Structure 1
Amino acid sequence: MERSETELMLKGYGLTTAEFTYHMPDYTHVLNTYVWQDYDLLPDHPKLFEFVEFWQREIEGPLHSVRFSHRKMISPGEWRNVKGVLTLH
């Protein structure tokens, strides 16, 4: 059963974006990029590493590098304790 994006975010998942730089299969001196996004967990990034393993196993273009960022979409709100109220005319 697939979970909705909101359910994933409430369980601590965040949006992971990765940029894969790889060598073209027929022209190994030429680099190309591929952008991948999915909801993943910090700090281990199991879905990202599963995709990297899939790439190395199934895709002909060998990886040159992978850059990624992770952003939690839902986080605790900021709360301030107000000790007084100032009234202006």
Structure 2
Amino acid sequence: MADRLKNEDVVTFEERLRQLGGYGLATAEILYRLPDYPMLLQTYIWQDYDIAPEFPTLLKFLNFWQNRLDGALYSVTVGHSKLLKPAEIRAVGGEFLLN
């Protein structure tokens, strides 16, 4: 069964630790103006693990965008989902072994 898993289906240990620390999957739709044609808007989709509502990772990326890239930001729409919820983690009271 493990050989049927795709790389994107496997959550790394670091990703799981971030989820336990309060990180969730953040997706941002970024509309920006094309540098050569400022009347036209282009869409860029950004996705990473981040903490809502502060979004430090997204803000770092947006600061990079404004300081280093030519396309002026028009709007940013953000969605966030905690992938690991408290109800999904529970203590195990016992262990049962089958022969």
> What is the TM-score when the length of structure 1 is the normalising length?
0.80
* Runs of 4+ in structure 1 over 2 Å off: none
* Identity fraction in percent: 47
TM-score by length of 2: 0.73
- Flag the structure with more relative contact order, 1 or 2, with Cα contacts below 8 A and sequence separation at least 6: 1
Instruction: Say yes or no: does 1:53 pair with 2:76.
Output: no
Aligned residue pairs total 76
Match of 1:33 among 8, 30, 43: 43
Q: Structure 2: where are the runs of 5+ without partners?
A: 1-12, 89-99
Match of 2:33 in 1: 23
Backbone CA RMSD of aligned residues:
1.3
Which of 10, 13, 26 is the matching residue for 2:20? Answer: 10
Of the three residues 72, 76, 79, the one matched with 1:66 is 76
The structure with the greater share of residues assigned to helix is 2
Superposed displacement of residue 43, structure 1: 2.0
Counterpart amino acid of 2:43? T
